[in-house]
Amino acid sequence: MSRADLLDGPSAEAPARKALSYSSDDIKRMLPHRWPMLMIDRAYDVVPGVSGRGIKSVSVNEPFFAGHYPDHSIMPGVMIVEAMAQLVAVVYVAELLETNEAAARDGDASRSVGYLGSISNMKFSRLVVPGDQLTLDARLGQRLGGLRQVKVRASVGSELAAAGTLVVTTGRKG
Q: What is the mean pLDDT of residues 69-88?
A: 96
Confidence band, pLDDT 50/70/90 cuts, at residue 70:
confident
Q: What is the mean pLDDT of residues 107-111?
A: 77
Give me the domains of the chain, ranges plus CATH numbers.
3-169 (3.10.129.10)
What is the model's pLDDT at position 101? 64
21-35 per-position pLDDT tens digit = 999 999 999 999 999
What is the model's pLDDT at position 106? 66
Contact 152, 120 (CB under 8 A): no
Residue 57's alpha-carbon distances to 4, 24, 96, 138, 166, in angstroms, are: 24, 12, 27, 17, 22
Region of 131 please: left (phi>0), alpha (psi -120 to 50) or beta: left
Question: Is residue 72 annotated as a catalytic residue, yes or no?
Answer: no
> Which of 49, 59, 64, 40 lies closest to 19, judged by CA?
49
Active-site pick, 17, 28, 42, 68: 68
